[in-house]
Amino acid sequence: MQEVTATSRHYVDRLFDPDPQKVLQGVIDMKNAVIGNNKQKANLIVLGAVPRLLYLLQQSSSSPELRTECAVVLGSLAMGTENNIKSLVDCHIIPALLQGLLCPDLIFIEACLRCLRTVFISPVTPVQLLYTDPTVIPHLMSLLSRSQRTQEYITQIFSHCCKTPEHQTVLFSHGAIQNIAPLLIYHSYKVRMQALKCFSVLAYENTQVSMTLVNVLVEGELLSQVFVRMMQRDQPIEMQLTAAKCLTYMCRAGAIRTDDSCVVLKVSKVSDGPIPRAVPLVWLQMIIVFLNKAN
């Protein structure tokens, strides 16, 4: 244990070297050391690596490469235990990373977003921290178009941090529907799936969002039809279930009629025959909701 701690101390000490190149190499070596090693991650956190990494990340005098490597290491530390996440949040990692998103360097932005995604998907992270600064959500919306990675990370952050009607209102008022809808037909499955999850949490028990969704067009196709296509048998189960949730929430809100062709056809295909073993929850959920509404 002493040997491991001494090695960890050596990694932390190198972060304070007056030579910027040695600091950079020290961060890179730290990155390689913590991969898959939760004990090393815990030791580095206890020895004070996080405040120094955050300091280097926030310094405009740090090179873009150094700032990016710091974000990568912090993201790796966040992939450890829940105690690691708590320590990172206590060190104010979220405001530091959100500030980093103002940097014009795309690679650095992606590293910050990847780390933020890892922190926010943890159940111990207070999601309200995403909404503390009112400029954050609109800036995240503006970053959606920068790259496939920004689309994936930002939509995943939104889907995990939309927990209350107030969160839904904030995202809705800053153009979440218009900005995320085109991602439903993106070539990347990860992006499509995270975008779909966003619509699921936005529409949940929210009449305003549901009534807006029914009129949205994606490449000339109604959004409800896009959801129906995502429920086809050749799509992954996760996508089918989430698309069914979206349609169910829209129906509950009265945005879709119980006799709407886009859903009646889908339900009737199942109700007139056996329910596919692989996806019973999709169809059962839809059938129950529509029968309840009809009665």
Full-model pTM: 0.88
Average pLDDT value for the chain: 88
What lies within 8 Å, CB to CB, of 268 at 6+ separation is none
- pLDDT of 252: 87
* Long-range contact set of residues 238-244: C-beta below 8 Å, sequence gap at least 24: 238/193, 239/192, 239/193, 239/196, 240/279, 240/282, 241/279, 241/281, 241/282, 242/193, 242/196, 242/197, 242/200, 243/196, 244/281, 244/282, 244/283, 244/285, 244/286
Q: Which residue has the higher pLDDT, 292 or 160?
A: 160
One-letter identity of residue 254: G
> Two tokens at 211?
């009534």
Nearest to 141 by CA among 129, 132, 150: 150
pLDDT, one tens digit per residue, over 64-84 is: 999 999 999 999 999 988 999
Q: Is the dihedral of CA 252, 256, 257, 261 positive or negative?
A: negative
- pLDDT of 232: 86
- The C-alpha atoms of residue 10 and residue 208 are separated, in whole angstroms, by 56
pLDDT, one tens digit per residue, over 245-260 is: 999 899 888 888 766 6
Q: Residues 67, 34: contact at Cβ < 8 Å? A: no
pLDDT, one tens digit per residue, over 18-59 is: 999 999 999 999 999 999 899 999 999 999 999 999 999 999
Nearest to 26 by CA among 56, 58, 61: 56
84-88 mean pLDDT: 96
Confidence of residue 88 (pLDDT cuts 50, 70, 90): very high
Q: How many residues does the chain have?
A: 295
Place of tokens 């809100």: 253
Cα of first residue to Cα of last residue in the chain, in angstroms, is: 67
